[in-house]
Amino acid sequence: MEAKHILCFILLVGFVLFQVNADPVEDKQALLDFVHYLPHSRSLNWKESSPVCNNWSGVICSGDGTRVISVRLPGVGFHGPIPPNTLSRLSALQVLSLRSNGISGEFPFEFSNLKNLSFLYLQYNNLSGSLPFDFSVWPNLTIVNLSNNRFNGSIPYSFSNLSHLAVLNLANNSFSGEVPDFNLPNLQQINMSNNNLTGSVPRSLRRFPNSVFSGNNIPFEAFPPHAPPVVTPSATPYPRSRNSRGLGEKALLGIIVAACVLGLVAFVYLIVVCCSRKKGEDEFSGKLQKGGMSPEKVVSRSQDANNRLTFFEGCNYAFDLEDLLRASAEILGKGTFGMAYKAILEDATTVVVKRLKEVSVGKRDFEQQMEVVGSIRHENVVELKAYYYSKDEKLMVYDYFSQGSVASMLHGKRGGERIPLDWDTRMRIAIGAARGIALIHAENGGKFVHGNIKSSNIFLNSRCYGCVSDLGLVTITSSLAPPIARAAGYRAPEVADTRKAAQPSDIYSFGVVLLELLTGKSPIHTTGSDEIIHLVRWVHSVVREEWTAEVFDVELMRYPNIEEEMVEMLQIAMSCVVRMPDQRPKMTEVVKMIENVRQIDTENHQPSESRSESSTPPPLVVERES
Ligand SMILES: *[C@@H]1O[C@H](CO)[C@@H](O)[C@H](O)[C@H]1NC(C)=O
Ligand SMILES: *[C@@H]1O[C@H](CO)[C@@H](O)[C@H](O)[C@H]1NC(C)=O
Ligand SMILES: *[C@@H]1O[C@H](CO)[C@@H](O)[C@H](O)[C@H]1NC(C)=O
Ligand SMILES: *[C@@H]1O[C@H](CO)[C@@H](O)[C@H](O)[C@H]1NC(C)=O
Ligand SMILES: *[C@@H]1O[C@H](CO)[C@@H](O)[C@H](O)[C@H]1NC(C)=O
Ligand SMILES: *[C@@H]1O[C@H](CO)[C@@H](O)[C@H](O)[C@H]1NC(C)=O
Ligand SMILES: *[C@@H]1O[C@H](CO)[C@@H](O)[C@H](O)[C@H]1NC(C)=O
Ligand SMILES: *[C@@H]1O[C@H](CO)[C@@H](O)[C@H](O)[C@H]1NC(C)=O
Ligand SMILES: *[C@@H]1O[C@H](CO)[C@@H](O)[C@H](O)[C@H]1NC(C)=O
Ligand SMILES: *[C@@H]1O[C@H](CO)[C@@H](O)[C@H](O)[C@H]1NC(C)=O
């Protein structure tokens, strides 16, 4: 996506919030002419009497409300050619989507008036004839999707003048002739399959998989077996390590080699897993014993009602501390407040046990806090199942989530292969987590603070919505100084002492999580040159300097028609991480803002989930290997 367009969208969002009474009269008339002359089977709410900006569906105006910059009319049932001298009058247009209609005729040559056109979606229509010879009249084109039409003739070489071009989809047409040798380093995605192209794949496009040229008269055996991948120069300090660009035959070769070593790797992995489990086991029960709490002792003490695991109402687990101590345990990680273990009980129930360190309050305060946390039952909050308090041990028991946290989904496990996270899932994570935090903030007379929001404390519930964990511990533990580096990236600037965390600092941390979802980058990380990058500062600097598309995770480039949602989510994230705590929105407002983002384009996506479900939370994902 092109930088300046993002700026326009941002301005637009601002405009939507502070409605301005201006109407682009000429653009409005052009749109009215367009729908008047082009038959369509679904009605549009375009009334001459109502303002075009902020009211007509599918139309977006510039920040000052003087021009129309985006027209999206997918699946309206248009049939016939685009009427001349209508859309071409929208000279400030940046986004045009007429996909999934029955528009016929040729590519309108008069679109050359639309100098700022950046996103063009015309796929799934009945357009025919050849494309304009000179595409350099649209220097800002970024995404071009002309697939599934009946275009013929040759592919214009002038595409190679479009330096911003990131996606070019010409699949399922009748293009003929040879594939031009584009030199477009920013091109991320291309598909020319199912045409009538001939010749060989040009050098510059050999970095794409064969499938993008399938269904043509292009022989793949002509590929040299070791086509060198084209290295993309990147403007950012970030290596494009997760660029999911295919390497053609090279990848194939890799797969074969990988298959050969797979057995070996699996073997090594098994050994590693076994060892680490053993180690975790030793550590868990071993440490308990060192602390003067041998299982026997505990068992005898657990006769005393005060020294039992305290389960919360409705919890269907049947085990006690004794079972927990006998369980095989492995270390999941070192969290802000102590170690987390995965414990597999004898009946194969798997739970997460947290051993808190540095608990600074007495038993009564601890129990009180646990009762508040344990009473929160919501599909977007990870339920606390049980807790244990003794002089030497403070334990908390949670369900185990087999897919891991959002942090591991986004940033990958060390050495492991990461599954790409699509935009829908990221939106669901954001909406779910926001609802969970809003609910937490309503607890305790609206004063409850989560205090430790970060992507490693967010999981996916059974409906794949975000679900927050690890709440309410800041107030019962000692201050953690010096700050743990990993948590530092989430910490609001005003929070020097973790115990002083407040709701606005939760909002800040949530904003950082949103930025992680948008950029795919960790809140604090080092570059190759050991430079420490602070995500919030980095996004600010990119946004301030040039608004490049580099803000967004390259992995998201492959999903169509999401750029507006991404930009609006970026806007929400930025409002959460503003420096002054009192200028940050309340969590309930954040929830509303995110829900609004999804309602913008309900056609593409399922409507946001119904609220009624929150009263009866469905079971969380628990791994039970029975
Ligand atoms: C389109 O590109 C031109 C030249 O690169 C630039 O001046 C202009 O601002 C761009 N338009 C938009 C909407 O970004
Ligand atoms: C558009 O404006 C009309 C009246 O001008 C109003 O009735 C309608 O609710 C508005 N629609 C939207 C989506 O704002
Ligand atoms: C194209 O976009 C640029 C930058 O947003 C703007 O300055 C220019 O006026 C636009 N051109 C037209 C014809 O609207
Ligand atoms: C596409 O256009 C051709 C004429 O150009 C027409 O014969 C055909 O029925 C159209 N197909 C559809 C699906 O509208
Ligand atoms: C493209 O299709 C049109 C009919 O839609 C035909 O007249 C023209 O000759 C075709 N051009 C090529 C290059 O095949
Ligand atoms: C690219 O643009 C330059 C200058 O605008 C022009 O001279 C050249 O012919 C264009 N190339 C193509 C392939 O259109
Ligand atoms: C091309 O058409 C085929 C069959 O209709 C479809 O399976 C495929 O997804 C289409 N390709 C693209 C890129 O749209
Ligand atoms: C593909 O091109 C060949 C000539 O290059 C032509 O004979 C054939 O009819 C074309 N097929 C289609 C489906 O356009
Ligand atoms: C290109 O489109 C074809 C179908 O038309 C599909 O099979 C192939 O996977 C697509 N390739 C990529 C990389 O999207
Ligand atoms: C282009 O259109 C095809 C067919 O609808 C779709 O599969 C593909 O995802 C689209 N690509 C982009 C980048 O919009």
**Concatenated DSSP letters for 279-324?**
HHHHHHHHHHHHTT--HHHHHHHHTSGGGS-EEPTT------HHHH
How many C-beta atoms lie closer than 10 Å to residue 529's C-beta? 6
Report the CATH architecture of 23-213.
Alpha-Beta Horseshoe (3.80)
Contacts of 208 (CB under 8 A, 6+ apart): 190, 245, 246, 248
| Strand 350-356 relative to strand 394-399, pairing | antiparallel
How many C-beta atoms lie closer than 10 Å to residue 550's C-beta? 19
Contacts of 335 (CB under 8 A, 6+ apart): 354, 456, 470
Angle subtended at Cα 514 by Cα 511 and Cα 519, rounded to the nearest 5 degrees: 125
| Ligand with smallest separation from the Cα of 168 | 10
Of residues 151, 169, 159, the one with CA closest to residue 107: 151
Please give all residues whose beta carbon lies within 6 A of any atom in ligand 1, as ranges.
Answer: 2, 4-5, 94, 116, 139-140
Q: Biggest alpha carbon distance in the chain?
A: 88
Tell me which residue has its CA closest to atom 8 in ligand 2: 55
510 vs 504: CA distance, rounded Å: 10
User: Phi-psi region for residue 167, left (φ > 0), alpha (ψ -120 to 50) or beta?
Assistant: beta
Contacts of 62 (CB under 8 A, 6+ apart): 8, 11, 12, 15, 68, 69, 92
Q: Label residues 459-485 b or e (16+ Cβ within 10 Å = b).
A: bbbeeebbbbbbbbbbbbbeebeebee
Counting Cα atoms < 13 Å in the Cβ hemisphere of 533 gives 19
Contacts of 486 (CB under 8 A, 6+ apart): 454, 456, 524
Please give all residues whose beta carbon lies within 6 A of any atom in ligand 4, as ranges.
Answer: 102, 104, 126, 128
Of residues 287, 280, 278, the one with CA closest to residue 394: 287
Please give all residues whose beta carbon lies within 6 A of any atom in ligand 10, as ranges.
Answer: 123-124, 143, 145, 147-148, 167, 169, 560
Q: What is the mean pLDDT of each run of 10 residues along the chain (626 residues)?
A: 41 38 84 94 86 85 86 89 95 92 93 93 94 92 94 94 91 95 86 94 88 89 41 31 36 40 41 37 39 32 52 67 73 78 76 84 86 87 87 84 85 65 92 94 89 90 89 74 60 75 92 94 78 86 69 84 85 92 94 80 33 29 26
Helix (H, G, I), strand (E, B) or coil at 384: strand
Would you kindly state where each structural domain of the chain is located, as residue ranges? 23-213, 277-400, 416-626
The answer to whether the CB of 623 falls within 8 A of the CB of 402 is yes
The token pair at 72 is 């999206």
For the CA atoms of the chain, what is the radius of gyration? Answer: 28
The answer to whether the CB of 422 falls within 8 A of the CB of 520 is no
Choose which residue among 15, 50, 61, 602 to substitute to test ligand 2 binding: the one with the highest number of ligand atoms within 8 A of its C-beta: 50
The amino acid that residue 106 corresponds to is E
In CATH terms, the fold of domain 277-400 is Phosphorylase Kinase; domain 1 (3.30.200)
| Ligand with smallest separation from the Cα of 192 | 9
- Which pLDDT score, from 0 to 100, does residue 444 have? 83
User: Phi-psi region for residue 404, left (φ > 0), alpha (ψ -120 to 50) or beta?
Assistant: left
Tell me which residue has its CA closest to atom 1 in ligand 8: 196
Model-level pTM?
0.50
Q: Measured from the CB, is residue 174 less than 6 Å from ligand 8?
A: yes
Gap from CA of 52 to ligand 2 centroid (Å): 10
In CATH terms, the fold of domain 416-626 is Transferase(Phosphotransferase); domain 1 (1.10.510)
358 vs 338: CA distance, rounded Å: 8
Please give all residues whose beta carbon lies within 6 A of any atom in ligand 3, as ranges.
Answer: 4, 8, 91-92, 115-116
81 vs 78: CA distance, rounded Å: 9
139 exposure class (CB count in 10 Å sphere: 0-12, 13-18, 19+): middle
Instruction: Verify cis geometry, omega within 30 degrees of 0, for the bond prior to 420.
Output: no
| Residue corresponding to tokens 């709701």 | 503
- Which pLDDT score, from 0 to 100, does residue 318 have? 63
Query: What atom of ligand 4 comes closest to residue 79's alpha carbon?
Result: 14
Gap from CA of 9 to ligand 6 centroid (Å): 29
Q: Which residues pair with 150 in a beta bridge?
A: 128
The token pair at 614 is 């929150």
- Which pLDDT score, from 0 to 100, does residue 317 have? 65
Angle subtended at Cα 511 by Cα 610 and Cα 535, rounded to the nearest 5 degrees: 140
The token pair at 180 is 């031009």
